[in-house]
């Protein structure tokens, strides 16, 4: 029986690649799991950040487009990404963000959980959510954040929809999510197989019919990817979703996972990605993110690609991978 286990990763757009690395590794304390390029645009970086092992459900990625304009958050977009942090850690994060020049706002509890909202340096909306279900087994201890406060992975994402019912129907009737509650104009879903899921298990669909249409560029989210365990189950999803009339892509080899893409009824780009083979396929776990990795079909162009990419410096690992 095929299943969706939650969020695999979320991909956003950055402008300045060095600023992006400095913030997500130096301020948020995430591990830079992989430095590669956008396989469809190989003269731009693709960074992956996650926990100590780069597990699905912990990954936020960025395409870096230096010089691109700011996007606009709105209808037909994933408008924010949230991270799970341990209970009692928001005070620490409020102080840490302020010390790094980032203004944050403690918001009213959402579904019984404390929320801290803040933008990244290029305007991407982020949240830290205290949750009792964090998994500390692979938290990254090389990012300068004490383990008792460290980010454990994604908590979820917010989808802004002009009409939420078609998206809700896709999530519940096709993709195997279930409604677990609603507050005001926000409806929360989690996988029916949530007992098998780790981080990244919540999807909030927000009815936001008065907002403007979103425009994807710097400071916005490009797409959201959902987890399926393996290639066989992905093929089942490909057949079912394609059979429902969605314009779905063929399977694409992303080296670290295999992907299919389609747009949900509100226009947001959905991806279904496999858990395997994982980020250690081209470098060992203890050395993830230390060097530019290219897929085999781009290796012959390495010199040209490296010359086109702006120089970056990564933060040295401060502790061994967990």
Phi/psi region, residue 254 (left: phi>0; alpha: psi -120 to 50; beta: rest), is: alpha
Output the CA angle 150-227-151, nearest 5 degrees: 5
Query: What's the DSSP call for residue 118?
Result: E
| Full-model pTM | 0.95
> Contact at 8 Å (CB) between 259 and 225?
yes
List Cβ neighbours of 68 (8 Å cut-off, separation of 6 or more): 13, 15, 217, 218
Closest to 57 measured CA to CA, from 132, 117, 133, 124: 133
Q: What percent of the chain has pLDDT over 70?
A: 96
Taken as a whole, the chain contains a residue count of: 322
User: How large is the average pLDDT for residues 238-252?
Assistant: 98
**pLDDT score, position 317:** 47
Q: pLDDT at position 135, please?
A: 77
Rounded to an integer, what distance in angstroms lies between the CA atom of residue 50 and that of residue 30?
6
Question: Alpha-carbon Rg of the chain, whole angstroms?
Answer: 18
Average pLDDT, the chain: 94
pLDDT of residue 196: 53
Asked whether the predicted pLDDT for residue 217 surpasses 80, the reply is: yes
pLDDT at 318 over 60: no
Rounded CA gap, 149 and 145, in Å? 7
Q: For residue 25, is pLDDT > 90?
A: yes
- pLDDT-derived band at 1 (thresholds 50, 70, 90) equals confident
Q: Which two tokens stand for residue 305?
A: 């690609």
- Domains present along the chain, CATH in parentheses: 7-308 (3.10.180.10)
* Residue in the block written with tokens 């979320």: 10
Supply the pLDDT for residue 54. 96
DSSP assigned state of 303: H
pLDDT category at 137 given cuts 50, 70, 90 is confident
Residues 6 or more apart whose CB falls under 8 angstroms from that of 107 comprise 115, 116, 117, 127
CB 129 within 8 A of CB 53: no
Query: What pLDDT, in 10s, does the model give residues 192-207?
Result: 876 555 689 999 999 9
Could you give the residue ranges of the DSSP H alpha helices within the chain?
17-21, 90-99, 164-169, 231-243, 302-308
Starting at the edge strand that comes first in sequence, how are the strands of the sheet with 41-50 ordered? 31-38, 41-50, 59-64, 7-14, 221-228, 269-274, 258-263, 252-253
């Amino acid at each position: 029986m095929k299943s969706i286990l939650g969020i695999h990763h979320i991909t956003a757009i950055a402008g300045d690649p060095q600023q992006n690395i400095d913030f997500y590794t130096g301020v948020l304390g995430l591990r830079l799991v992989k430095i590669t390029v956008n396989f469809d645009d190989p003269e731009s970086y693709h960074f992956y950040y996650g926990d100590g092992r780069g597990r699905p459900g912990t990954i936020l990625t960025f395409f870096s487009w230096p010089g691109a304009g700011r996007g606009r958050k709105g209808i037909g977009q994933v408008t924010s990404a949230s991270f799970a942090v341990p209970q009692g850690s928001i005070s620490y994060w409020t102080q840490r963000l302020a010390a790094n020049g980032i203004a944050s706002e403690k918001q009213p509890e959402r579904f019984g959980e404390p929320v801290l909202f803040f933008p990244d340096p290029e305007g991407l909306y982020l949240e830290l959510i205290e949750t009792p279900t964090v998994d500390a087994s692979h938290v990254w201890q090389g990012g300068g954040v004490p383990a008792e406060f460290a980010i454990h992975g994604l908590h979820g994402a917010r989808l802004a929809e002009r009409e939420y019912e078609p998206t809700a129907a896709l999530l519940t009737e096709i993709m195997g999510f279930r409604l677990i509650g609603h507050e005001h104009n926000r409806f929360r879903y989690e996988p029916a197989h949530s007992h098998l899921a780790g981080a990244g298990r919540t999807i909030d669909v927000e009815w936001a019919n008065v907002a403007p249409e979103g425009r994807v560029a710097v400071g916005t989210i490009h797409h959201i990817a959902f987890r399926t365990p393996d290639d066989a189950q992905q093929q089942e999803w490909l057949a079912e979703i394609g059979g429902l009339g969605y314009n779905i892509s063929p399977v694409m080899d992303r080296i670290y996972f295999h992907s299919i893409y389609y747009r949900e009824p509100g226009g947001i780009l959905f991806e279904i990605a496999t858990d395997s083979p994982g980020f250690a396929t081209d470098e060992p776990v203890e050395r993830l993110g230390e060097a530019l990795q290219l897929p085999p079909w781009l290796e012959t162009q390495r010199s040209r690609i490296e010359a086109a990419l702006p120089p970056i410096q990564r933060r040295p690992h401060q502790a061994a991978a967990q």
